Amino acid sequence: MTAQGRNERQWPLALALLAPSLIVVLGVVLYPMGRTLVLSFLDATSALQDAFDFVGLDNYTELLSDSGFWATVRRTAVFTVFSTVVELGVGMLLAQFLNQRIRGQWFFRSLVVLAWALPTIVGANMWRWILHPEYGALNGLLTQAGLLDTYQDWIGGPQQALFVVALVDAWKTTPLVAILLLASMQTIGDDVYEAAAMDGAGPVRRFLSITVPMLKPAIAIVLVLRTIEAFKVFDIIYIITRGGPDSGTTTMAFYTYLQAFSNQQFSIGSAAAYLTVLFIFVLSLVYLRMLRTETKGLV
Amino acid sequence: MSAPSISRRRLLSVPLTLGAAAVLPGCAVPRVDRIDDSGGPARLNALFMKQASYSEEDVRAMLASFHELHPDITVRPTFVAFEALHDKIVVSAPAGTYDVVLIDCTWPAELAGKNMLLDVTDRYDPAWQADILAGTLGGVSYRGRRYGVPWSPGAKMFFYNAEMIKRAGVEETSLATWDGVVEAARALKAKRVVEHPLVWSWAHAEALMCDYAQLLGAFDGRFLDENGRAAFHTGGGVRALEWMRRTLEEGLSAPSSVKLLEDDVKKVVCQGAAAIALNWDYMYAEANDPKQSKIVGRLKPALAPKGPTGKGPAANGSMGLSVMATSRRPDAAWQLVTYLTGKENQLRYARNTLPVWKSAYRDPVLTTGPQAPLVAAEQAQLESLVERPAVAQYNAVSQQIQAAVQSCLVTGTPAAQALAAAAARVNEIIGD
């Protein structure tokens, strides 16, 4: 029997095996995506609306000409850049540490994964109580240690709150970044480091001249993944600040949520969601293009 | 390691996938009303609040009693925070998940206007009209029709720690005006009775709207003018916000107020970390519970202080129970609503929330029980309430006002400037 014949005979079985996941993807990914796209061109202002007016690109132009929307874009960009840089910096150092041959390394690796394994909703609630201005654990700890005279409001100002929430996001996701970088680090052969050491390169030089360049593909993947995730941040904001104070933590995803579900402006919310997708898509293309150029340069 | 690359085919697959996805909604099945009038056993889903008002424990006990009376009706309750209540009602409406929902007094215009709530006007007993507190009926009405039955009266009450006030050498009568409150707070601070005498729920949330509404009313302001346009950016609206800001600048109000919700305020007051606060009536019971409070017997409820023109309204925060228009068992759902909102049931659980029935206030349970001081104060306060804007776009309007008030309180934007910007946005929203 030819290979083509075998493939044709296996086709029904393949389809049967794929069907469950296809149905799930269709139901929870493709259908909502399509519905949201369609809604963004309509005028939907009620969850029970039966007929909709077609408004073309009006919802998009309304958003793009709204200074409030651009303020959420700026906040989201600041959040994304700050949390991604922190995650990458700390994740790199953490990965370097976890790559050392030291006794009990399995314990440290397990410990690092804990924060990432914690559901975001639990982690965010935990931080909400830790940072609480009246009875937060952080204030209690620092006051008892004599480092603070009075309780501080750690998320008091709008900008301060954005950075603190970004740090909480970084705390949650740095372990994932560290594990991804560690996996890539372990593919670098010891002989490369040994040769560099024999040539007189110290630990810092070896890290900067060997480890970092060889991790570039992994760093690019981490950058793309984390940018996409950070751009969509919602749960941490919803739990800790609900977009405040003074709208300082109202990011694009939270703005989309407010428009769609609190205000029943489903079409505006849908358009905002697709603009978020567009921003992420463009950013991902830029990252991948940069990586492609740099990899060609290495060859 | 090979670098990922993007081919034209892959790039094109993105819009193709989106295009295919956009076709799918064409297969959507429109919602149909599916009333089950078989009269058989009914299973109802009900949405409640897990915060102020009746406790979860109280509601579960009420539902158990209801089930004993109506064995053919089973109720499955869901409890969410107030901040999640509205959005859960909206999101679940197309699926018809809930039969009975708890609604805030600011939502009927939006929810009834969008046909989400069942019109129950014709189901009302004529006698109810005269016996239900007038301020609460407005919270379940829209354009002269009823869309639910009031369940909790909810005036945002004024409370003070009498022992702290005494220690500061302040006469309790001086708390009858907001000017007097400021003077009392200065005395409390000067005599180091408490670092920040006032605490508020000024977080970026609806709680802030209630406190601002109360002060706006006291300073003779109003949210909307007679033409339905924004009016909070002039006169009393500005004076109220400037007053709020001054108490923060003087250190009379706890700086953390801009982060706190009512539940947080309750904890602060019950820990004895503040002397004066606005809150819903449920704070009184918890302040007198030794398991939760360090100030048992010290908290006093009073009428809201008056502003410069002699007005001292409380924010109307009444809530009601409604039947969803998408309920498949509206009759059974109505039975549940009438049972829970009934006078007997409300009197039985009056510890956390007072009844909405005027005649209940003559019952010895209220006039002689531990709640008697609160009952007297709240009954009088319910005669003077201030409403938040009754517009179909209430949430969007509220968000704009919350942002403006927070902008002034948190970053120091001048009150008139912050409110004027919000007023322009509010007029755009209302004009839509």
pLDDT digits (tens, 9 = 90+) for B306-330: 999 899 999 999 999 999 999 999 9
State how far residue A1 is from chain B, nearest Cα, in angstroms: 32
Say if B340 falls within a structural domain: yes
Same-domain pairing of B72 and B183: no
Same-domain pairing of B121 and B87: yes
Residue of B nearest to A214 (CA): B1
Average pLDDT over every residue of A37-62? 93
Q: Are the beta carbons of B258 and A26 separated by less than 8 Å? A: no
Same-domain pairing of B304 and B411: yes
Look at residue B29 in the predicted model and tell me its pLDDT.
46
Q: How does pLDDT run across A266-285, given as a tens digit for each residue?
A: 999 999 999 999 998 888 88
Does the CA dihedral B58-A125-A108-A176 come out positive or negative? positive
Same-domain pairing of B61 and B137: yes
Same-domain pairing of B407 and B262: yes
Q: Are the beta carbons of B24 and A35 separated by less than 8 Å? A: yes
The domain that holds B146 is classified in CATH as 3.40.190.10
Q: How does pLDDT run across A105-162, given as a tens digit for each residue?
A: 888 888 888 888 889 999 999 999 999 888 889 999 999 999 888 888 888 888 999 9
Say if B28 falls within a structural domain: no
> Which stretches of chain B drop beneath a pLDDT of 50?
1-4, 26-27, 29-30, 32
Same-domain pairing of B166 and B282: yes
Say if B357 falls within a structural domain: yes
Say if B12 falls within a structural domain: no
Look at residue B7 in the predicted model and tell me its pLDDT.
58
Look at residue A293 in the predicted model and tell me its pLDDT.
66
Asked if this assembly's ipTM is beyond 0.90, the reply is no
Look at residue B390 in the predicted model and tell me its pLDDT.
86
From chain A residues 147-166, the ones with a CB under 8 A of any chain B CB are: 150-151, 153, 155-158
B123 and chain A in contact, CB less than 8 A: no
Paired tokens of B302: 């009073």
**Contact status, residue B244 vs residue A230, Cβ threshold 8 Å:** no
CB contacts < 8 A (A, B): 147
Best A46, A250, A265, A285 member to test B by mutation, with max B CBs in 10 Å, is: A46
Same-domain pairing of B264 and B406: yes
Best A67, A164, A264 member to test B by mutation, with max B CBs in 10 Å, is: A264
Same-domain pairing of B113 and B252: no
Supply the range of the domain harboring residue B124. Answer: 42-154+317-379
Look at residue A7 in the predicted model and tell me its pLDDT.
74
Look at residue B134 in the predicted model and tell me its pLDDT.
82
Same-domain pairing of B254 and B344: no
| Average model confidence (pLDDT) across chain A | 89
B427 and chain A in contact, CB less than 8 A: no
Which helix (H) or strand (E) element contains residue B340? helix B330-341
| 3-state SS record for chain A | CCHHHHHHHHHHHHHHHHHHHHHHHHHHHHHHHHHHHHHCCEECCCCCCCCCEECCCHHHHHHHCCHHHHHHHHHHHHHHHHHHHHHHHHHHHHHHHHCCCCCCHHHHHHHHHHHHHCCHHHHHHHHHHHCCCCCCHHHHHHHHCCCCCCCCCCCCCHHHHHHHHHHHHHHHHHHHHHHHHHHHHCCCCHHHHHHHHHCCCCHHHHHHHHHHHHCHHHHHHHHHHHHHHHHCCCHHHHHHCCCCCCCCCCCHHHHHHHHHHHCCCHHHHHHHHHHHHHHHHHHHHHHHHHHHHHHHHHC
Average pLDDT over every residue of A77-105? 92
Look at residue B4 in the predicted model and tell me its pLDDT.
46
Say if B230 falls within a structural domain: yes
Same-domain pairing of B329 and B408: no
Q: Indicate whether A224 pLDDT > 90.
A: no
Q: Indicate whether A81 pLDDT > 50.
A: yes
State how far residue A198 is from chain B, nearest Cα, in angstroms: 26
A34 and chain B in contact, CB less than 8 A: yes
Domain count for chain B: 2
Same-domain pairing of B235 and B262: yes
Q: Are the beta carbons of B4 and A291 separated by less than 8 Å? A: yes
Say if B74 falls within a structural domain: yes
Same-domain pairing of B249 and B216: yes
- For chain B, give the number of residues: 432
Strand ranges of the sheet holding B276-279, from the earlier edge strand across to the other edge: B198-199, B276-279, B157-161, B299-302
Which domains occur in chain A, in start order? Answer: 67-298 (1.10.3720.10)
Look at residue B38 in the predicted model and tell me its pLDDT.
64
